[in-house]
Structure 1
Amino acid sequence: MFENYKIRHATRDDCAEIKKLIQELADFENCSSGPTLSVEDLQRDGFDSVPQKFSCLVVEDTTVEKDGCLCGYLIYFPTYSTWEGASLRMEDLYVSPAHRKNGLGRLLICHLAKEAEEKGCRRIDFSVLTWNPAITFYKSMGAQNISDLEQWAMWRFDKDAIKELAEKAKNN
């Protein structure tokens, strides 16, 4: 089943294709104008920064011999839980519609779990939109909805709030 696909770590040269896949995911999530990152941002943050700000696994369709052979990606980064220790955060998981139902999403998550285990991580955290049909897929793989189990709600300081708060820190 997987003979036409290869899971590997992304390279700097993959960033243009990854950006296209990010836009496909945003379109699916009804957030077409959401992604503001450029290819250069992805290259800087994923490959030029020390430490890297994110890592990425990609699915390569090995039947395509030209550019444009990526059909899925999983972006993640290390984080830390004061309750459990080292963790990973899965930011995005996406497989193009033409390549779904082949087990590629499952395979990407299995590769991420292998890496998490090798790094001594105790958990992989991620968010999913409440209407996303992938919830059934995540449950089938053993993921738990911690919003239900532990009553956690996700919050965010956006760019403007960060700027305002940072300014207050500078003045004190």
Structure 2
Amino acid sequence: MNSTIESNDIVIRRAKPQDSSQVYNLMIELAVFLKCDREMTLSSEHQSTIVGYSLYFHIYNFLEGFGISMENLYVSKSHRGMGIGKMLWQEVTRIGLELGSTGILIIVDNWNKASKDWYTRRGCVDLTETKEYHYLTLGRKEMEAFVNDA
């Protein structure tokens, strides 16, 4: 799985440890975009080499089998509109297919209509609308209260 994709001077490749500070900068930029930057207390210098990233991991659904959860897909504002996001997503998808995944889970903030539309134009289905799924979460405090409930 050491593949790379190249197109018009853009290279999609596996992240390396030395990329971490540049990926971190993009994560800060994403936090600002998602309006949660108040929770971020660290900053670092901007380095222009890395312009996008995708963070994903493997998941298992007992009804559908193995899949991928794509936690983040982010392209720096200065490099949007060049197809980089699509290339990143295609590589995550290729890896998923290679691993036998049955699908990719993508969670989009309710206010982020542009991202939701971008994904649905490319074939994603909004489960909240079509299957009436609701993804629920139980925070740490609530977990402790639940476990201690007699």
Change (3 A) 1:35 1:157: farther
Aligned to 1:47: none
Q: Which sections of structure 2, spanning at least 5 residues, go unmatched?
A: 1-5
Is 2:59 aligned against 1:79?
A: yes
**1:88–1:125 Cα contact (<8 Å) kept:** yes
Q: Which residue, out of 110, 120, 141, partners 1:160?
A: 141
Q: 1:11 to 1:162 in 2, by over 3 A?
A: farther
Kindly state the Cα deviation for residue 36 of structure 1 after the two structures are TM-superposed.
7.2
Q: Closer, same or farther in 2 for the Cα pair 1:145/1:99, shift >3 Å?
A: same
Alpha-carbon separation, structure 2, partners of 1:15 and 1:34: 20
Q: How far did 1:68 drift?
A: 3.8
Question: Could you tell me the percent identity over the aligned residues?
Answer: 27
Distance 1:35 1:87, change over 3 A: farther
Within the alignment, does 1:28 sit opposite 2:33 as a pair? yes
Which residue pairs with 1:131 in the alignment? 111
Equivalent runs, 1:11-90 vs 2, <5 Å = 11-35=16-40, 68-90=48-70
Instruction: Give the conservation status (yes or no) of the 8 Å contact 2:28–2:43.
Output: no
Query: How has the CA–CA distance of structure 1 residues 77 and 92 changed in structure 2, closer, same or farther, with 3 Å as cutoff?
Result: same
Secondary structure of 2:91's partner? helix
How much does 1:12 deviate? Answer: 1.7
Alpha carbons 2:56, 2:72 under 8 Å: kept: yes
Secondary structure (helix, strand or coil) at the match of 2:117 reads helix
Root-mean-square deviation over aligned CA pairs? 2.5
Closer/same/farther in 2, CA of residues 84 and 163 from structure 1, 3 Å limit: same
Equivalent position of 2:131 in the other structure? 150
Conserved 8 A contact 1:22-1:35: no
Unaligned residue ranges in structure 1 (runs of 5+)? 40-66
Aligned-residue offset at 1:136: 1.6
Which residue is equivalent to 1:94?
A: 74
| Contact 1:73 1:92 survives alignment (8 Å) | yes
- TM superposition outliers: structure 1 runs of 4+ over 6 Å: 36-39
The partner residue of 1:10 within 15, 29, 40 is: 15
